[in-house]
Amino acid sequence: MSLDELAVETCSWAFGNSGTRFKVFAQPGVPRDPYEKLADAAQVHAYTGAAPSVALHIPWDRVDDYAHLARYAGELGLRIGAINSNTFQDDGYRLGSVCHPDPAIRRQAVDHLLECVDIMDATGSPELKLWFADGTNYPGQDDIRARQDRLAEALAEVYGRLGEGQRLLLEYKLFEPSFYTTDVPDWGTAYAHCLKLGPKAQVVVDTGHHAPGVNIEFIVAFLLREGRLGGFDFNSRFYADDDLMVGAADPFQLFRILAEVLREPSGGIAFMLDQCHNIEPKIPGQIRSVLNVQEAAAKVLRIDRAALSAAQREGDVLAANAVLMDAFNTDVRPALAEFRAAKGLDPDPMAAYARSGYFAKICAERVGGAQAGWGA
Ligand code: PSV
Ligand code: MN
């Protein structure tokens, strides 16, 4: 794969206000509707040339006419990426959604997921991304096995509704908001459900959703080998699911993960930024994130695979490690600047955006109305 083919999907919620459960800090110029979010996402693509699609989150991005929204995306040079479902913000979901003990709540949750597939049809989105907040907080609270049965039943119904060229991506997360059991806590659980469902079901790996010390590149290698790596939610974490900018906390981990992913043509793997920008400005936060992925990918593409294989075959541990480290330690920034210039882009996307005056424009224009925010 070449750098030209690397596409990183931005997420609509990155452009709205966000924060922690302690405080959401509002920022000026923040979008008030999905159309304004797309306009901001188009800026990220305009300056990086590498962010051509935008993930939506339903209901945060609900509109009356999804085909119209998709056409607007097209006018901006974008397309609609994964549709992220939300089965965690209704009052009914206190004890779960698709795994809830009450069949009426499960019905509500599945209906929402089916609505998301309708939105895929209307927008041309190829992926339904499912993450469930389901789980329990106390031993004995619910039947762990029965919850798996309910999950399987819900997934099967949604899977059956998928059309040609549509995929279901199942995301796992170790904990939160549940703290005792989580119904899809790890890649093994997600993989087992996907296997039962069929080939259109694949696993999403979100960098932030693991216990400290988990070797994510191993998970990626395993799922790729099985043809079940459907997508990646990029972000960084220092402790838990922090959703900070990808490559900020541990650029070496990002490099190691991409070293596995980019071994073969990465077609079919959705690279998405799943991040919120709580204290940093949003559009530059997304631009920087795309650049971080590009930089790590450029290093990975410098791995001398032939030398690596030879060292591995010979059992030369130090030589093999040196091949990887040589690539990681290469300063690819000058080459990336040339790469951008050759594509007619500014070699320094961060500076070009800062100079553009777009931020001042949206601050002046987006006055009144309700700012979009995580959870709204
Ligand atoms: C859950 O933590 C998650 O990572 C899922 O990808 C959601 O779609 C996203 O965050 C926003 O809630
Ligand atoms: Mn995610």
Question: pLDDT, tens digit, for every residue of 23-42?
Answer: 999 999 999 999 999 999 99
Residue nearest to atom 11 of ligand 1 (CA): 274
Q: What values do phi and psi take at 107, rounded to 5?
A: -60, -45
Q: How far is the CA of 341 from the centre of ligand 2 (A)?
A: 32
Q: How far is the CA of 274 from the centre of ligand 1 (A)?
A: 7
Q: Omega into 347 within 30° of 0, i.e. cis?
A: no
Q: What percent of the chain has pLDDT over 70?
A: 99
User: Do 323 and 307 contact (CB within 8 A), yes or no?
Assistant: yes
| pLDDT mean over 6-11 | 97
Handedness of CA 34, 39, 44, 49 (dihedral sign): positive
3-state secondary structure labels for all residues of 183-246: CCCCHHHHHHHHHHHCCCEEEEEEHHHCCCCCCHHHHHHHHHHCCCEEEEEECECCCCCCCECC
pLDDT bucket at 375, cuts 50 / 70 / 90: low
User: Do 200 and 163 contact (CB within 8 A), yes or no?
Assistant: no
The per-residue pLDDT of the chain, averaged, comes to 96
Question: pLDDT, tens digit, for every residue of 90-129?
Answer: 999 999 999 999 999 999 999 999 999 999 999 999 999 9
Ligand 1 pocket (Cβ < 6 Å) reads 84, 131, 171, 173, 206, 233, 241, 274
| pLDDT mean over 234-257 | 94
Residue nearest to atom 3 of ligand 1 (CA): 131
As given in the structure block, the two tokens for residue 333 are 């920034």
Residue nearest to atom 7 of ligand 1 (CA): 131
In the predicted structure, residue 183 carries a pLDDT above the cut 70:
yes
pLDDT bucket at 262, cuts 50 / 70 / 90: very high
Task: Identify any residues that bridge with 313 across adjacent strands, giving them in sequence order.
Answer: none
pLDDT, residue 264, reads 79
Three-state secondary-structure class, residue 289 = helix
Composition of the chain by helix, strand, coil, percent to 5: 45, 15, 40
Question: pLDDT, tens digit, for every residue of 358-368?
Answer: 999 999 999 99
Residue nearest to atom 1 of ligand 1 (CA): 131
Smallest-distance ligand from the CA of 276 = 1
Angle subtended at Cα 338 by Cα 348 and Cα 292, rounded to the nearest 5 degrees? 50
For domain 3-303, the CATH class is alpha beta
| pLDDT mean over 347-357 | 98
Q: How far is the CA of 320 from the centre of ligand 2 (A)?
A: 33
Residue 100 CA to residue 79 CA, distance in Å, equals: 34
Pocket test for ligand 1, best of 206, 246, 273 (most atoms within 8 A of CB): 206
pLDDT, residue 242, reads 82
In the predicted structure, residue 290 carries a pLDDT above the cut 70:
yes
Q: What's the Cα-to-Cα distance from 273 to each of 93, 200, 296, rounded to whole Å?
A: 26, 22, 14
Q: Give the chain's largest Cα–Cα span.
A: 66
pLDDT, residue 99, reads 98
Q: What values do phi and psi take at 139, rounded to 5?
A: -55, 135
Handedness of CA 5, 72, 131, 46 (dihedral sign): positive
Nearest ligand 1 atom to alpha carbon 233: 6
Residue 49 CA to residue 292 CA, distance in Å, equals: 14
pLDDT bucket at 87, cuts 50 / 70 / 90: very high
Domain boundaries, the chain: 3-303
Q: How far is the CA of 205 from the centre of ligand 1 (A)?
A: 11
Q: What values do phi and psi take at 234, rounded to 5?
A: -85, 140
As given in the structure block, the two tokens for residue 185 are 């806590």
In the predicted structure, residue 192 carries a pLDDT above the cut 80:
yes
- More confidently predicted of 240 and 106: 106
Question: pLDDT, tens digit, for every residue of 203-218?
Answer: 999 999 999 999 999 9
Residue 154 CA to residue 109 CA, distance in Å, equals: 9
Interhelix angle 358-365/349-356, nearest 10 degrees: 40
In the predicted structure, residue 240 carries a pLDDT above the cut 70:
yes
Where do runs of H (alpha helix) occur along 263-332? Answer: 282-300, 305-313, 317-328
DSSP at 137: S
In the predicted structure, residue 376 carries a pLDDT above the cut 70:
no
Tell me which H or E stretch contains 80.
strand 79-84
